Amino acid sequence: MIPPIARNFVAGTTGPRALDHVADLNEDDVGGILNLLGEHYSKRPPADEDADEYVSLVDAIAESDLDCCISVKPSQIGLDVGDEVFVENLERIVTAADEHGIFTWVDMEDHDTTDVTLDAFEKLTLETDGNVGVCVQANLKRTPEDLERLADLPGKVRLVKGAYAPPKSIAYRDRARVTEIYKDLLEEMFQTFDDGIAVGSHDPAMIAHAKQLHDEYGTDFEVQMLMGVREDAQRDLARDGYRTWQYVPYGDKWFSYFYRRVRERKENALFAIRAVLS
């Protein structure tokens, strides 16, 4: 059983319960990005099992007619077992989703998984005519070069500041510096991308910056935020006509996700405390 504080951030332990949450989001014109919790499997069976769950999930989404897509972590579907296991399972998920017209996001994890993740994204987004998206992290020094590569591909790109802590030799660690780089990268995307820009941020200043860039360059974008974080702002953005999505985790591995979200950012802990008090 998920305690009340965690229920602010995790939409239950089952797919049907998560779909119920998405139905509520859709009432406020907010879309749902469903993520089955699980990661860093060292054996193939659990990776295959979660891939099977995703295939079943896209069938359920298609039957529900909800405004909903899915997001998958590479290490959840076999990357720690082997690159070929990850690619095989991701292809299986994306194929099933694409048959139903359902979009698939590929999350980005540790810095040493970037190349294989981007390679898999490129292959599958070309095969599905852009029905796949990928996440990139502003704190990595390589990201400007990665964005040059991604700008010419179909699909979508979610820009986040980066929650992991890579070595200083390959990443910026100062938070103020990362924020400035995020702004610069966002402007680069609005200048060079035709569309498919996803602003993965809860920072009001970054969202305001994206609105300004949209007015200046005319490039479409969407905003993505986590479940349980600034949900009033999510509804307000949707009400104002901005495409807004909520990242919705679910599953029985909720504790490690909840703990990490609270631990990795001071502001997340404050959000959790506010959720309890309200």
160, 223 contact by CB (below 8 A): no
Across the chain, how many H-helices and E-strands are there?
A: 11, 8
pLDDT of 82-123, one tens digit each? 999 999 999 999 999 999 999 999 999 999 999 999 999 999
Closest to 129 (Cα-Cα) out of 94, 155, 156: 155
Q: Flag whether pLDDT at 278 surpasses 60.
A: no
C-alpha 1/C-alpha 85 separation (Å) is: 32
pLDDT of 124-162, one tens digit each? 999 999 999 999 999 999 999 999 999 999 999 999 998
**What is the CA 81 to chain-centroid distance, rounded?**
22
- Give the model's pLDDT for residue 258: 64
- Binning the chain into helix, strand and coil, the percentages to the nearest 5 are 55, 15, 30
φ, ψ of residue 3 to 5 degrees: the values are: -65, 160
- Give the model's pLDDT for residue 261: 60
Model confidence, pTM: 0.92
Q: How many domains does the chain have?
A: 1
C-alpha 87/C-alpha 109 separation (Å) is: 15
Task: Give the structural domain span for 227.
Answer: 4-277
φ, ψ of residue 242 to 5 degrees: the values are: -90, 135
Q: Which of the following is catalytic: 48, 50, 98, 107?
A: 107
The CATH number for 259's domain is 3.20.20.220
**What is the CA 151 to chain-centroid distance, rounded?**
18
Tokens of 128: 């599905």
pLDDT of 173-230, one tens digit each? 899 999 999 999 999 999 999 999 999 999 999 999 999 999 999 999 999 999 999 9
pLDDT of 62-83, one tens digit each? 999 999 999 999 999 999 999 9
158 is catalytic: yes
177 residue type, one letter: R
157, 191 contact by CB (below 8 A): no
107, 133 contact by CB (below 8 A): no
Q: Which of the following is catalytic: 80, 98, 146, 158?
A: 158
267, 229 contact by CB (below 8 A): no
106, 117 contact by CB (below 8 A): yes
115 is catalytic: no
- Give the model's pLDDT for residue 270: 52
